[in-house]
Structure 1
Amino acid sequence: MKRFVHAIVVCLLLTAVSAGRTHAAELTLYVMQVPPLTFNEPGRYGIAGDLALAAIKRAGYTAKIVVVPANRAMATVQGDDVRDALIIPLARQKEREPHYTWIAPIVKVDRTFFAVGRSVASFDEARAAFRVVGVARGTAGVHILNEQGFAKPQIYEINDNDVSPRMLLAQRFDAWYGPTLQFREWLREADPQHRIRAGVPLGATFNYMACSRICDPAMVKRLAEAVDQLTRDGTAKTIEARYGRM
């Protein structure tokens, strides 16, 4: 009898150790650089980055962070043979819906039209006012402009980087459309004379922590619950305040 009890205890201990190892599994997190939502700095990964890492930790996992250009990150994670790969901060658009497993929204992203010497307050006004609008290639901004009836010749796609303010000042296009906070970050150095003006926020999206199409349902559930807990207990607001978002 004692041997039988001892065997049961050993089995339970091994099961507990195995479960602990499962929860501590390392997850690959692809981070698209969209300051101040995400950064690539030691110990400082931006609003969305810090929240995602906090959720991964609370869910009982560790993270392997991979920072690559946005288009490469999206293409990698939506690969047919990719499993359990996370990506942030990904805007949820109908064109992307079937290619990812959507875990939880982690940050709201406002978008704005920026132009030299003028601002607009609606998509209708922007369509009439701007002959050409610059926008980051392959982003949600392109889909939003298409949905809002902008003609193809009006949409000028370029790589998503901090050269866009200089292109706007050089009149390569009439306006820039993209995430408000990101463009304001770029303007600090590119436009010290404050020639570029921002319109009202238009076309906001909730950017998600998402996963590859093939993704462990139990992991998805744990991460979604962790994000919800961080929102309810005030941790998300604390992270936002750390970066001076509001």
Structure 2
Amino acid sequence: MPEVTIMSRITRVLKDRTKALWLLCLLLAVDSAWGEPQVVELHILDAPPLTFTNDPRGHGIVGDVAVKAITRAGYTVKIHLLPWARAQKHVSEEHDFLIAPLSRIPGRETRFTWISSIMPMERAFFSLDHKVDSFTQAKERFRKVGVGLGSAQEEILRTEGFRDDQIYPLAIGDNPAQLLLMGRIDAWFNGVPESRYIWPKVSKRKLLMSSVGSTADLYLACSRQCSAKLVEDLREAVEALRKEGAIERIHDVYLP
């Protein structure tokens, strides 16, 4: 057999094998992409019973609903913990990042993509000595009001005309209940479920609660630039959990 013919056959075989290997790699890559769920980041904070960062029962009412919805929609969740003000800025500026629980208030409306409401949140003033019935009374009565740094509560007080020196932003690590007991703050403006959950673990003193001053739904939200498919998938998943009664059951785990 001529040498040229042998070399031609060897070259053709090598080319065929190269094509086969390339095709096999492509198929494996496609199969891997189809087989592995997309990972999405979920940013939460430690705000019991709404969200927990370290609790054997789970991630709290809103946290568990968010995680179950993400999983149900076919995604894998990766939970992140950042100071709340920084977490909001980070999620807002990125793409396809999730955050919960986030109150839908005017100052945030255009910064996020609002996927689905999970539960309503009532807010009130909590104090030891004086019960107030309005924001006006609170402004006149309380010298310092504790609120979470970067929280909806802080923005609500500023919108209601509270002075900067009246607002005491609480950073991570600050315990508002302890600050109230020590007299460092005169009142605590916060979500009703969270305050009622925390207080009995800190003191047996009677905690006075004002009339509800603000109500805003808590949402699972996404970055301002967020995939339409991700939004739709998660919105459908949350609504399915609601219809099945799963959200109510999760609520009863943490607030029986």
TM-score higher than 0.5 here? yes
1:168 to 180, 195, 202: 180
Q: Work out whether residues 117 and 219 of structure 2, in 8 Å CA contact, stay in contact via their aligned partners in 1.
A: yes
Which residue matches 1:62? 76
TM-score by length of 1: 0.83
Contact (CA 8 Å) 1:162, 1:186: kept in 2 or not? no
Equivalent AA in structure 1 for residue 51 of structure 2: T
Whole-Å separation in 1 of the counterparts to 2:91 and 2:104:
14
Q: 2:48 maps to which residue?
A: 35
**SS, match of residue 34 in structure 1:** coil
1:117/1:195 contact within 8 Å kept:
no
Q: Which whole-Å CA distance do the structure 1 matches of 2:232 and 2:39 have between them?
A: 16
Within-5 A mapping of 1:72-83: 72-79=86-93, 82-83=94-95
Write the deviation string for residues 24-70 of structure 1: whole angstroms up to 9, x where unpaired: 21211111221100012355100001101111122111211122331
Could you tell me which amino acid in structure 1 is paired with residue 152 of structure 2?
A
In 2: Cα distance, 1:57 partner to 1:187 partner: 33
Distance 2:58 2:33 in 1: 30
Contact 1:110-1:203 at 8 Å conserved across structures: yes
Distance 2:173 2:194 in 1: 10
Q: Distance in 2 between matches of 1:115 and 1:154?
A: 15
Aligned counterpart, 2:220: 209
Aligned-partner Cα distance in 1 for 2:31–2:118: 31
Q: Secondary structure at the match of 2:212?
A: coil
**What does 1:125-144 correspond to in 2, within 5 Å?**
125-144=137-156
Partner of 1:114: 126
TM-score of the aligned structures, taking structure 2 as reference length: 0.80
Per-residue CA distance 1:116-137 (angstroms, 9 max, x = gap): 1332222222222222222112
* Matched letter for residue 231 of structure 1: R
Q: Secondary structure at the match of 1:98?
A: coil
Whole-Å Cα distance in 2 between the matches of residues 21 and 162 of structure 1?
A: 44
1:113·1:199 contact (CA, 8 Å) conserved in 2?
yes
Q: Following superposition, which runs of at least 4 residues in structure 1 exceed 3 angstroms of deviation?
A: 16-22
Change (3 A) 1:123 1:227: same
Q: Unaligned stretches of 5+ in structure 2?
A: 1-26
Q: Which residue identity lines up with residue 237 of structure 2 in the other structure?
A: A
Could you report, residue by residue, the CA deviation over 1:76-110 in whole angstroms, capped at 9, with x for unpaired residues? Answer: 2123xx22111111112222222221111112222
CA–CA distance in structure 1, aligned partners of residues 97 and 194 of structure 2: 25
Superposition RMSD in Å: 2.3
SS at match of 2:107: coil
Which structure 1 residue ranges, 5 or more long, are not aligned? 1-12
Does the Cα contact within 8 Å between 2:84 and 2:149 map onto a contact in 1?
Answer: no
Percent of aligned pairs with the same amino acid: 37
CA–CA distance in structure 2, aligned partners of residues 240 and 121 of structure 1: 28
CA deviation after TM superposition for structure 1 residue 176, in Å: 1.0
In structure 2, distance between residues paired with 1:130 and 1:106: 32
Contact (CA 8 Å) 1:33, 1:69: kept in 2 or not? no
Residue 6 of structure 2 is matched in structure 1 by none
